[in-house]
């Protein structure tokens, strides 16, 4: 159901922007459709490598390893381990959040789980490989990931300071 809504919003946006391009004149529409299609053709092999490759990489990293890293140890070492675990977590949002929930039940502190979820959102290797590198200039991706490094720690620090969640 939610997938259908996503598709409707997505293709609706494409239609609206396509209409705006068409209003600028037919050549504008034709040239942007051609650019978009060429981008698509160019990206397909990379997405293929990303999707199929990520499955194999995920199969090699068992989830027990991730929850082990997220164990009930606390403090900044726990935050560091949580950050590494977040980056190494394979799979989509279900796996990322479920492992976070499991770790929380197993006694991990909320700041550590915040660091884990933040690190996973910022630089889970699977999303970098599958989505970000195919679409964005590689230099931007590495730059963004490097710049993002401090932020799981910042998020954990804020969580410790406000004493929530």
Answer for which of 65, 98, 106, 107 binds other proteins (CB under 8 A) is: 98
Q: Which stretch binds other proteins (CB under 8 A): 37-45, 63-71, 80-88?
A: 37-45
Q: Which residues of 137-152 are buried (b: 16+ CB within 10 A; e: fewer)?
A: eeeebeeeeeeeeebb
Q: Does 40 sit near other proteins (CB under 8 A)?
A: yes
Q: Which stretch binds other proteins (CB under 8 A): 63-71, 75-83, 139-147?
A: 139-147
The structure tokens 């197993």 sit at: 106
Answer for which of 65, 77, 107, 143 binds other proteins (CB under 8 A) is: 143
Distances (CA, A) of 120 to 5, 83, 113, 159: 25, 8, 10, 17
Q: Does 158 sit near other proteins (CB under 8 A)?
A: yes
Cα–Cα–Cα angle for 5, 6, 11, nearest 5°? 100
Q: Which of 161, 160, 152, 156 shows the shortest CA–CA distance to 85?
A: 152
Answer for which of 4, 48, 81, 91 binds other proteins (CB under 8 A) is: 48
Closest approach of Cβ 68 to other proteins, in Å? 19
Q: Does 21 sit near other proteins (CB under 8 A)?
A: yes
What's the first-to-final CA gap in the chain, in angstroms? 30
Touching other proteins, residues 63-92 (CB under 8 A): none
Answer for which of 9, 65, 77, 106 binds other proteins (CB under 8 A) is: 9
The structure tokens 């140890």 sit at: 73
Q: Which stretch binds other proteins (CB under 8 A): 21-29, 64-72, 76-84?
A: 21-29
């Amino acid at each position: 159901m939610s997938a259908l809504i996503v598709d409707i919003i997505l293709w609706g946006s494409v239609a609206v922007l396509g209409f705006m391009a068409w209003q600028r004149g037919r050549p504008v529409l034709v040239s942007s459709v051609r650019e978009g299609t060429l981008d698509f053709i160019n990206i397909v092999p990379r997405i293929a490598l990303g999707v199929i490759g990520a499955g194999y990489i995920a199969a090699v990293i068992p989830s027990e390893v991730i929850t082990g890293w997220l164990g009930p140890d606390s403090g900044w070492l726990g935050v560091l381990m949580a950050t590494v675990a977040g980056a190494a977590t394979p799979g989509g949002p279900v796996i990322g959040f479920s492992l976070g929930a499991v770790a929380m039940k197993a006694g991990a502190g909320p700041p550590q789980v915040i660091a884990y979820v933040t690190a996973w959102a910022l630089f889970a290797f699977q999303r970098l490989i599958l989505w970000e590198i195919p679409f964005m200039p590689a230099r931007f991706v590495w730059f963004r990931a490097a710049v993002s490094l401090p932020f799981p720690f910042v998020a954990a620090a804020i969580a410790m300071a406000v004493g929530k969640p």
